[in-house]
Amino acid sequence: MNAPATVPVLAVEELQRHYTLPREHLFREPGKVYALNGVSFEIQPGRSFGVVGESGCGKSTLARTVMALETPTAGTVRILGHDLFDLDKDALRALRRHFQMVFQDPYGSLDPRHKVGRVVAEPLTVSDEVGARDRVEKVADVLRSVGLKAADMDKYPHEFSGGQRQRIAIARALVTRPELIVADEPVSALDVSVQAQVLNLMRDLQDSFGVTYMLISHDLAVVEYVCDEVAVMYLGRIVERGRTEALFARPSHPYTRALLDAVPRPGVGRAKRGAALKGTVMSQTALGTGCAFADRCPMAKPRCLEEAPPLRDLGDHHLSACHYAEDVPAG
């Protein structure tokens, strides 16, 4: 089911996800949480696309919706040209072998009651074409590809360290040879030294198998190391998007600038890195008329409070949702 080279592995268009809150009054409509508000992007084959932002910006909701674990309120998600939410149950089940997920917690994402061989082989159960003997061979091969041993399939998850468990989780995601892996904070629960090992493994596997990654992270350094492109999210919207190196070198949205300024750098004090953000994060239970970042933005002007800025192309595949993107100060 490989798509032609011209078809993106993942295409997200105007994706919305709104949650209805419990009704608080008999004669009033229940409130809503606006988690995603018109997110669009594409990922080409063999590329790595990072999504960054503070907690609550909608990153994990985006990951779950891309994986069809959540149903969108509006918009489309296409994987290899197939609209996930236009497929029947059997067709979606068959397509799942082409996109897999690596979760944040290597301790909670592996069933402790089952041996590693069964855990890793689980995605293969969607295919009737894989017999028992082939399944064992595939599990052994994929365990070796992530730096473990074939004999490890007879052990339980608790017998491994955190980094090894995340390698097992990556092996489980790889066992069907998917075109897309969605990784939601894959190293945030690990020690720094182990993080480096897992990130290097992800890059090596991409070189070896041509995997396409969608990487969710709050850690800018992780995204900078792994990803070719990056999108910055704020309150359910992408506020800036572009090639990682260019975006980090010259951000064109005040929120991106603030995120980069908050990253500690040797010999640079906080005062020199930039002022702390003012104001408070807008509620996700209401959609304002202006820029969602305006109350915290050091560059905000009256126009920002009245008119929501579109995500516009600044040239060279760099997009920014800021009326004054050209005036954002360099670092």
Residue 5 lies in a domain: no
What is the pLDDT, as a whole number, of residue 189? 83
Looking at the domain assignment, is residue 21 inside a domain? Answer: yes
Longest dimension (CA), the chain: 67
For residue 3, being part of any structural domain is answered with no
d(CA 130, CA 132): 7
Q: What is the DSSP letter of 264?
A: -
Strands 74-79 and 82-83, bridge-based pairing: antiparallel
CB 299 within 8 A of CB 314: no
What pLDDT does 23 receive? 82
Order of strands across the sheet with 82-83?
32-43, 10-20, 74-79, 82-83
- CATH number for the domain spanning 80: value is 3.40.50.300
Which tokens hold the place of 273?
Answer: 């890195």
Q: How much is the average pLDDT of 264-272?
A: 51
- Are residues 236 and 39 in contact, defined by beta-carbon separation less than 8 angstroms? yes
pLDDT at 283: 76
Closest listed residue to residue 281, CA positions, set 268, 267, 272, 294? 294
Helices (H), the chain: 59-66, 89-95, 116-121, 132-145, 162-174, 192-209, 220-226, 244-249, 254-261, 270-273, 302-306
Going along the chain, which residue ranges are E strands? 10-20, 32-43, 48-52, 74-79, 82-83, 99-102, 180-184, 212-216, 229-234, 237-243, 312-313, 319-320
| 1 pLDDT higher than 70 | no
Per DSSP bridges, beta strands 237-243 and 48-52 are unpaired
Q: Which of 303, 220, 284, 213 is nearest to 256 (CA)?
A: 220
Residue that wins the pLDDT comparison between 105 and 237: 237
> Which pLDDT score, from 0 to 100, does residue 276 have?
57
CB 87 within 8 A of CB 264: no
**Whole-number mean pLDDT of the chain?**
90
Owning domain of residue 118: 10-327
| pLDDT tens, position by position, 282-314 | 778 878 789 999 989 999 999 999 999 999 999
Q: Give the pairing type, strands 212-216 and 99-102.
A: unpaired
Q: Is 112 inside any structural domain?
A: yes
Percent pLDDT > 90 in the chain is 73
Rg (CA), the chain: 21
Per-residue tokens: 120 = 């890793």
Query: In whole angstroms, what is the distance from residue 308 CA to residue 300 CA?
Result: 12
Assigned domain for 1 exists: no
Give the model's confidence band at 79: pLDDT under 50 very low, under 70 low, under 90 confident, else very high: very high
CB 94: neighbour CB atoms within 10 A? 15
Torsion angle, alpha carbons of 56, 58, 61, 63, to 10: -120
**C-alpha–C-alpha distance, residues 155 and 143, integer Å:** 12
Distance CA 215, CA 299 (A): 30
The predicted-structure confidence for 58-71, as pLDDT tens digits, reads as follows: 999 999 999 999 99
First to last CA, the chain: 45
In a domain, 48, yes or no: yes
- Looking at the structure of the chain, the number of domains it has is 1
261 is a domain residue: yes
> Where does the pLDDT of residue 2 fall: very low under 50, low under 70, confident under 90, or very high at 90 and above?
low
For residues 264-274, average pLDDT: 50
Pairwise pLDDT comparison (280 vs 229), residue with the higher score: 229
